[in-house]
Structure 1
């Protein structure tokens, strides 16, 4: 008679109830992460010319028609941050938006908004065109610059669900326009 040195580990066999418990736990973690977001960034400079004593409010992208061609689908703002990008003492808002496609990885657009005088907010610059077929992650506005990681595709054969290239970029206001810079190499994923 031969005995086994390893006891029968019946509890190591995955059953549907284990997968259900794992999925429930993951859903709870994702929901908690969604609720625990930092407050929106605001920037103002006290005493800056033309600002008066009250700080200007950053434009809200919810009230702006973003230049996206969604073919009947809704536009979704996936990120926004504010700061004084052009040094005029008033904050601009940078919005990352895409069409609500429902599957795959729809391309993003990155838009700069300003508060119009006597009118509502308006788009004044497009930093990333959706036609470039890239999506955005790690997006921020810091020290007068917009930074992001762009995800893209090495060829049309790569499925839209799974970008296989990434590039870190920065946009800064210089000489009356936004100038894009990036490290010398793009990194594949």
Structure 2
């Protein structure tokens, strides 16, 4: 019989104690990896120009140019409410505004504002155009939805002081846009 040039590898036979030691070491590595997780990923880098963080306050309507055509009259914000409407972790503000008329019930506009980074708050959506000639009552932001009662007129003969129609509506972010539906 010829002797092998390789040393005897009798110590390489796996015994149950070797398997137990290997399993214990692997369990320790997996447990350590589970404890050392990186911070949660965000869509924007902290400190990056224009980055909005969850701690950012809701934008206010003061100083924002709302798309209202008031002629020589001023526009007035009659209501505002904030909440995270699109699920991105940053609050948006919904502002109800109208022209400051001397009498009657001027139509309202409903606008969604978001932080615009260094440029300040900006309008990102119009939920109700003043051209629809509706007024807004019982306005709120709850559970990611905007709810309101819209007041309108059945005909041009109805005095503008006294709306004779109402509709309860809800706007909710779906598929990348605000969708209007009847509120229950």
With normalisation by structure 1, the TM-score equals: 0.69
Which structure: larger Rg? 2
In structure 1, what is the Cα distance between the partners aligned to 2:69 and 2:41?
38
Does structure 2 conserve the Cα–Cα contact (< 8 Å) formed by 1:147 and 1:170?
Answer: yes
Counterpart for residue 141 of structure 2: 141
Give the aligned CA root-mean-square deviation in angstroms: 1.8
Query: Secondary structure of 1:118's partner?
Result: helix
* Residue 49 (structure 1) aligned to one of 22, 42, 57: 42
Counterpart for residue 115 of structure 1: 115
Does structure 2 conserve the Cα–Cα contact (< 8 Å) formed by 1:48 and 1:89?
Answer: no
Q: Compute the displacement of 1:49 (Å).
A: 3.4
Alpha-carbon distance change, 48 to 95 in structure 1, aligned in 2, over 3 angstroms? farther
Q: Compute the displacement of 1:118 (Å).
A: 2.1
Query: Secondary structure of 1:160's partner?
Result: coil
Structure 1: stretches of 5+ with no match in the other structure: 1-46, 185-189
In structure 1, what is the Cα distance between the partners aligned to 2:163 and 2:139?
17
With normalisation by structure 2, the TM-score equals: 0.71
How many residue pairs match? The answer is 138
Displaced runs of 4 or more, over 3 A: 47-54
Residues 61-117 of structure 1: CA deviation (Å, up to 9, x unaligned): 012000000001011000000000000110000000000001000000000000012
Counterpart for residue 162 of structure 1: 162
